[in-house]
A and B are shown apart, each in its own frame.
Chain A
Amino acid sequence: MSWLLAATEPVVRLTPQARIVAAILAVLFMLLILDLIRRDKLLERYSIVWFLLGLAMLAGAAFPDLLELIAKVIGVRDVTIGLFSIVLMILLALSLNFSVIASRQSKQITRLAQQSAIESIDEDSGSTEESG
């Protein structure tokens, strides 16, 4: 089983400094989200996922074993690459989610516009009704 190099080669870990920076950023990120909710700039329903992401960042900084586990699962020796891969995946999923939300809202806006257009006929029909 010597071809399973990833298991035997030394693992590249995060430096303590990187972990501290990550933890600080995670805390700041979560504070920012709380502030956005407080100022009504962000709806709660969209904030939860971001808050969870902040928590995950904090967890990654606090428990580096977690990142190593992830790196091992996806088969990379460098923990930072594992980290980047996971973050990329999450961002990809989030942006897809927002496209879905945008599509739904655009459909709703269209329906509203159509309703409003149909109602606008009834308003002007009194003055211009001469067809038929």
Chain B
Amino acid sequence: MKTLVFIPAWNEADSIRAVIEDAREHVPGAHVLVIDDGSGDGTAVQARQAGAQVASLPFNQGVGAAHQTGYIYAMANGYELCGQIDGDGQHPAAELARLLAEVEAGRADLVVGSRFAEASGYRTPWARRTGQRLFSLIVSTATRQTLTDTTSGMRALNRRAMELFATRYSSEFAEVESLQQAVRAGLTVKEIPVSMLPRERGSSFITPLGSAFYIFKTLIVLLVGQLRPGTPTPAPEADK
């Protein structure tokens, strides 16, 4: 199947090369695309040197816009399968290959790699962890299926899911809201346990207070999401 692996990256010049090489090695026939979300540290140059194609957003637009760029590109270029891993090196491409295989086998439209099902030594700050539990609880309740890692950026999807996300995708609450969106649109979402690595460098910039605010915002987004129509909405008009 024609496969795209895209890597959203914002200021990941130090880790991007290794991520690209990892993706090359473990997902052989795939086309690797780095989506540079307005980095200022030469991420795009590093990625090109590693031999990947780079889609450069002219300015930082947030993780959701970067993901959606990947989906739009994949849709427009006829990719049947699409996988994504973060540019910071915490997602081993070998695990992504397992997710892709699940989608290819037709067992789900969207497969998410969950870090919480395995002893991977993955540690997150308590506030973040509490938030993730809370998201998990709410998303699981909302979607009536168990999803443990709602903020995971390691995913694989087929054209059905790509089409949905290319049309509408949350910019700020990308991972969490899109799960809700997918389930409500009638897609089959599956979560499989994967091992993840701690971030290679750089700490999470999220403070407890920041986390609390983020959780609060996400809760509101999810509540509103429950009120949206369940079928995919048409693309937003350019102007009214």
Q: Which residues of A contact B (CB under 8 A)?
A: 104, 107-110, 113-114, 116-118, 120-121, 124-125, 128-132
Known A117-B35, A117-B69; judge A125-B171 contact (CB<8 A): no
In the complex, which residues 41-62 of chain B have their Cβ closer than 8 Å to any Cβ of chain A?
A: 48, 51-59, 61
Could you say which residues of chain A place their CB within 8 Å of the CB of B72?
114, 118
Complex alpha-carbon distance, A129 and B32, angstroms: 11
| A128, B69: Cβ atoms closer than 8 Å | no
Q: Which residues of B contact A (CB under 8 A)?
A: 24, 29, 31-33, 35-36, 48, 51-59, 61, 65, 68-69, 72-73, 76, 171, 236, 238-240
Complex alpha-carbon distance, A130 and B52, angstroms: 8
Q: Chain B: interface secondary structure? A: mixed
| A114, B69: Cβ atoms closer than 8 Å | yes
Complex alpha-carbon distance, A132 and B32, angstroms: 9
| B238, A116: Cβ atoms closer than 8 Å | no
| B33, A121: Cβ atoms closer than 8 Å | yes
CB distance from A106 to the nearest CB of B (A): 8
CB distance from B54 to the nearest CB of A (A): 7
Q: Which of A113, A118, A121, A124 contacts B59 (CB 8 A)?
A: A113
Task: Give the number of A-B contacts (CB < 8 Å).
Answer: 62
| A128, B53: Cβ atoms closer than 8 Å | yes
Please name 5 pairs of A and B residues whose Cβ atoms are closer than 8 Å in the assembled complex, sorted by A.
A104-B236, A104-B239, A118-B72, A121-B33, A131-B32
Complex alpha-carbon distance, A113 and B171, angstroms: 13
CB distance from B52 to the nearest CB of A (A): 7
Known A108-B238, A132-B31; judge A121-B54 contact (CB<8 A): yes
Closest to A109 in B: B61
Q: Which of A110, A116, A130 contacts B171 (CB 8 A)?
A: A110
Could you say which residues of chain B place their CB within 8 Å of the CB of A108?
238-239
| A117, B56: Cβ atoms closer than 8 Å | yes
Q: Which of A113, A124, A132 contacts B58 (CB 8 A)?
A: A113
